[in-house]
Amino acid sequence: MAARFKDLVLDANDHQALADWWCAALGYTRRLPPPGEADPPPEWPVPIHDPQGNGPLIWVSPVPESKSVKNRMHLDVWGRTDELLALGATLLRAREGERDWDVLADPEGNEFCVFTPDAHGIPASRLTRR
């Protein structure tokens, strides 16, 4: 094994605001420093995590440049497109035909795909060809 998954990292011009946006979208919270350690300076990357411990740690890192081309890697999430749009996401491509997901962008333009859970909140197990 040459590598093992660790964390996800999202680049952002306003990393503080985008961290808050993804916390609201995913139900994540900012990861606090260990007891006795000071809060990191505001210019440092912001770690956010799933308080239930189910999702990966995400670092929202400040970068000076704006996003200019399509992501080569993106997030897939279970969720409700209308709720994400109400939070400030942008619809890039609506589901149609055999594609059962919407493509959205976060407030800084990072693309992600949204799959709708079934009526009981359980992700559908159907495999879809991309």
Q: Tell me which CATH code domain 7-66 carries.
A: 3.30.720.120
Instruction: Confirm if 79 and 114 have CB atoms less than 8 A apart.
Output: yes
Q: For 60-70, write each residue's pLDDT tens digit.
A: 999 999 888 88
Q: Tell me which CATH code domain 67-124 carries.
A: 3.10.180.10
Exposed, middle or buried: residue 114 (CB in 10 Å: 0-12, 13-18, 19+)? buried
Instruction: Confirm if 107 and 96 have CB atoms less than 8 A apart.
Output: no
Average pLDDT, the chain: 90
- Spans of all domains in the chain: 7-66, 67-124
Residue 105 has phi, psi (to 5 degrees) of -130, 140
Instruction: Confirm if 114 and 77 have CB atoms less than 8 A apart.
Output: yes
Q: For 44-55, write each residue's pLDDT tens digit.
A: 999 999 999 999
